[in-house]
């Protein structure tokens, strides 16, 4: 079986690595000659909207998936005429537009921060008075890792916030005083079977994920599980989906979902017997889903900007360094380090050693 992927970044690389033992090979489209997945998979070097490249991908592959949600919807439409594209196009379209996404959460009875659609500066001023301060302005489309966002703390910030997001169609939402940011990663196959990984608790720096902690037996697991199942069933979803939530007191509020494997689930490679990458491949290829239970505790540390020197950690049991082979650049995710141990204390001990050795 051959799976075609739109995108050849680190997620594609890890999907391809997980696909190999399943007897699945990967062909992907990416316009970057140094795309990380080209170490392990065949690349079609082209833009995502190149009609000839899309036809070539459809000729070679048995099924299509993607590794990022800003895939051109027209490309998905073209590919869908020839073969299945998973996750389905309605999931992609919803996740590409924060307003559609928020409306879907509301329809499904999943709490969200108070929000309003914004199309002009006047609407923004009025919405700020209704929602209250502080609040967050986010472009409806093409935002990621905190890009296309501005926090408004006083009425004096409104003009600058509107300009900073390029006066693009947006939503304004209440700033949540969250205790925790968590994500739940789940997978659904074409028959509607689901599996769910234990929760990840996530720490962000400047809007970019910095650390994820696996949280077994989390008191919010059942609630998160219900929300993600509702979402996947409604979308008739196939593949891995990540739902990001804010915990405020006893309530979970949905922030957004990603129709793909997710950075907060990278610890599943070493932490579970079937990683999010393998389960995504299994789902799109129509293979039985794998186990999602964790045996111990895991922590994932993102390497942002450049890979740290890891010499002091090499050979430490329970430490795995993933270097995506990307050139250094500010705010770029270039790798991650996963720590695994039998319990919280042991993983914290490992974390202290690794943090001392990172330079």
Looking at 77, 130, 204, 329, which residue binds ligand AMP (CB under 6 A)? Answer: 204
Q: Which is nearer to ligand AMP, 119 or 179 (CB)?
A: 179
Looking at 88, 111, 190, 207, which residue binds ligand AMP (CB under 6 A)? Answer: 207
Tell me the window of 168-176, 186-194, 225-233, 310-318 that interacts with ligand AMP (CB under 6 A): 168-176
| CB 134 to ligand AMP: min, Å | 8
Q: Is 181 in the site for ligand AMP (CB under 6 A)?
A: yes
Looking at 6, 13, 136, 299, which residue binds ligand AMP (CB under 6 A)? Answer: 136
151-156 long-range CB contacts below 8 Å, 24 or more apart? Answer: 151/175, 152/128, 155/125, 155/128
End-to-end CA distance of the chain: 42
Q: Is 4 in the site for ligand AMP (CB under 6 A)?
A: no
CA atoms within a 13 Å half-sphere pointing along the CA-CB vector of 270: 21
Cα 4 to Cα 37: distance, rounded to the nearest angstrom: 12
CA atoms within a 13 Å half-sphere pointing along the CA-CB vector of 202: 29
Is the separation of the CB atoms in 215 and 199 below 8 Å?
Answer: yes
Could you give the string, one character per residue 255-274, with x where binding to ligand AMP holds by CB under 6 A and - elsewhere?
xx------------------
Q: Is 173 in the site for ligand AMP (CB under 6 A)?
A: yes
Looking at 143, 239, 259, 318, which residue binds ligand AMP (CB under 6 A)? Answer: 143
Neighbouring-strand partners of residue 337: 301, 321
Q: Is 111 in the site for ligand AMP (CB under 6 A)?
A: no
Q: Which is nearer to ligand AMP, 30 or 173 (CB)?
A: 173
Helix H or strand E segment including 231: helix 221-234
- 315: which residues sit within 8 A by CB, 6+ positions away? none
Nearest residue to ligand AMP on Cβ basis: 176
| CB 173 to ligand AMP: min, Å | 5
Cα 8 to Cα 41: distance, rounded to the nearest angstrom: 9
Interface residue list for ligand AMP (CB under 6 A): 113, 136, 143, 146, 173, 175-176, 181, 204, 207, 244, 255-256
């Amino acid at each position: 079986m051959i799976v075609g992927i739109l995108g050849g970044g680190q997620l594609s690389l890890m999907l391809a690595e997980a696909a190999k033992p399943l007897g699945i090979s990967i062909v992907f489209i990416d316009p970057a000659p140094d795309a990380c997945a080209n170490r392990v998979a065949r690349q079609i070097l082209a833009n995502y909207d190149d009609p000839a490249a899309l036809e070539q991908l459809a000729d070679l592959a048995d099924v299509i998936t993607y590794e990022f949600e800003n895939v051109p919807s027209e490309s998905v439409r073209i590919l869908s005429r020839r073969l299945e594209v998973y996750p389905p196009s309605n999931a992609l379209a919803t996740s590409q537009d924060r307003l559609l996404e928020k409306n879907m959460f509301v329809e499904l009875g999943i709490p969200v921060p108070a929000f309003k659609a914004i199309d002009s500066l006047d609407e923004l001023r009025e919405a700020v008075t209704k929602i209250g301060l502080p609040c967050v302005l986010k472009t409806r489309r093409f935002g990621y890792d905190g890009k296309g966002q501005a926090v408004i703390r006083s009425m004096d910030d409104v003009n600058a916030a509107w300009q900073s997001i390029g006066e693009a169609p947006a939503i304004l939402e209440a700033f949540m005083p969250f205790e925790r940011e968590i994500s739940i990663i789940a997978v659904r196959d074409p028959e509607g079977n689901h599996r769910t990984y234990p929760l990840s608790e996530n720490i962000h720096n400047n809007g970019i994920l910095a650390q994820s902690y696996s949280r077994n037996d989390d008191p919010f697991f059942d609630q998160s599980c219900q929300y993600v199942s509702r979402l996947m069933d409604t979308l008739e979803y196939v593949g891995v989906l990540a739902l990001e939530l804010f915990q405020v007191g006893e309530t979970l509020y949905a922030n957004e979902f990603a129709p793909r494997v997710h950075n907060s689930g990278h610890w599943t490679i070493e932490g579970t017997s079937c990683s999010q990458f393998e389960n995504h491949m299994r789902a799109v290829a129509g293979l039985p889903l794998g186990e999602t239970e964790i045996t111990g505790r895991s922590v994932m540390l993102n390497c942002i900007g450049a890979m740290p020197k890891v010499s002091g950690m090499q050979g430490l049991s329970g430490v795995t360094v993933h270097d995506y082979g990307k050139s250094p650049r500010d705010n770029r995710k270039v790798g991650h380090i996963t720590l695994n141990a039998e319990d919280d204390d042991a993983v914290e001990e490992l974390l202290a050693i690794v943090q001392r050795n990172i330079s």
